[in-house]
Structure 1
């Protein structure tokens, strides 16, 4: 039986842990809170009272930012590029992860190393070679100029995560599905894919954040105004002479909303163990 001293010590450590987590949560969420209150301030209020609530809530900042930055078109382009890139990343990443985690073949380790070596490539060091390559093949200033590099650079982490997750799925599930008459495609589509919901959510969130917030690739590969993505729309509020912080904060508040929504939708799936309890001994 535990002594009262040990119980008090355990409660104290538990309380300390909760306080640390609370402090971490506040520190993580405060920049988001600051962004949203700043979006409703005037420039004068922004500089004079950077951390206080707005003296007057300027909701017109959001509407002006939307119109002046042509954010509707930018959001549409970002959505098209991001969704297409995420789908391609998921399809190719899950298929490659399934093959590498389930099948044995010659040079498998070499293939795995080549895929994972992509994690070591500094993405921005490839901007010039990619620019020249896309110019030669006629992809420059198209949606493909963003979709293809996004997918290629996200595939290594997607394959790494998918491969590790699928390796933990008991092979008895596949054997049972094969006895029921399923081929490899049937096993993947009807058994493995539904069990991969948590890792799909993780890959989706990581890819979405990278694609949605990318600025450098869009800046280099896109010149046509009609194809500009949301980060390029945000850049319009700053020039060489100054920055309109009221409109910039308003535009950033609009741009961050889809990211928050996607995260809130998928956060539960990351924590769920879809395989747990699939096989009962």
Structure 2
């Protein structure tokens, strides 16, 4: 009888301990969910405020900045599109963005392939050189870049934006893609060489398809940067026919005041492509950001 009593005395605290642990796990799970919901709300609220403000009058924008419009002014969208010439500006932004993305991915993948799959004398310093490129303050180069472009005659052209965009995005592209390619087993490459494939065949038939997740991440991050860039476009582009979306948004603001309803409408139009692109490729972004971080 004494043995049974002792056995029960041991089981009771163990049972209560398990219950306490389960309660703690449930509470912790709910706290995590609440924090994530609050964080999502904080991230999405500015977009809600932008689209709601785009459909208000200027008077209502100041009187009721956070509420839904009393009168929905859908005419703001068409007026902003026509007054700012957003159709041409969107074409310009698309040309510059796609061209810079193509060059970034082409040069970034080629460089990352060499740095990740080959051994040579200056590999370490060269990788360090590209990595240090991420530390350069981009806007500190505006004046020297302007002088160089003026001498070679490419100001007020698409190339005055495409080349700097590509150059400043290459370091992060090389860093991410090289880390991913380093995680690909070399046995695949060796098997392809046994089958008679050369380095170019291995690159285009094996490395590029396997590196699609990280290339998608680089492409989307580059798209967001290029599409919204303002400082370079402001300094290097003066021709109205070549202005990009961030530049034409300034047409609604002058030294005397700002038409906030049209400005918000134009910003809502400009931000839509980035939202759509992100929603379609968000899974690829997350895969690419963690790809290559763990080697098996």
Look up the match of 1:133: 148
Report whether the alignment pairs 1:152 with 2:138.
no
Unmatched segments (≥5 aa) in structure 1: none
Q: Deviations over 1:214-246 (max 9, x none)?
A: 111001000111000001110111111100000
Instruction: Tell me, in whole angstroms, the C-alpha distance in 2 between the residues paired with 1:121 and 1:75.
Output: 29
Q: Deviations over 1:166-205 (max 9, x none)?
A: 1111111111222222111111111111111111111011
1:100 to 101, 115, 118: 115
Instruction: Tell me, in whole angstroms, the C-alpha distance in 1 between the residues paired with 2:74 and 2:257.
Output: 22
1:166 to 181, 184, 188: 181
Instruction: Tell me, in whole angstroms, the C-alpha distance in 1 between the residues paired with 2:128 and 2:87.
Output: 42
Report whether the alignment pairs 1:224 with 2:239.
yes
TM-score, with length taken from structure 2? 0.91
Unmatched segments (≥5 aa) in structure 2: 1-14
Paired residue total: 277
Structure 1 74/117 Cα, relative in aligned 2: closer, same or farther at 3 Å? same
Paired residues for 1:14-25 under 5 Å? 14-25=29-40
Instruction: Tell me, in whole angstroms, the C-alpha distance in 2 between the residues paired with 1:146 and 1:169.
Output: 34
CA-atom RMSD, angstroms? 1.7
Runs of 4+ in 1 over 3 A off after TM superposition: 271-276
TM-score, with length taken from structure 1? 0.95
Secondary structure of the residue that 1:55 maps to in structure 2? coil
Instruction: Tell me, in whole angstroms, the C-alpha distance in 2 between the residues paired with 1:98 and 1:265.
Output: 27
Structure 1 35/125 Cα, relative in aligned 2: closer, same or farther at 3 Å? same
2:46 to 16, 31, 41: 31
Secondary structure of the residue that 1:236 maps to in structure 2? helix
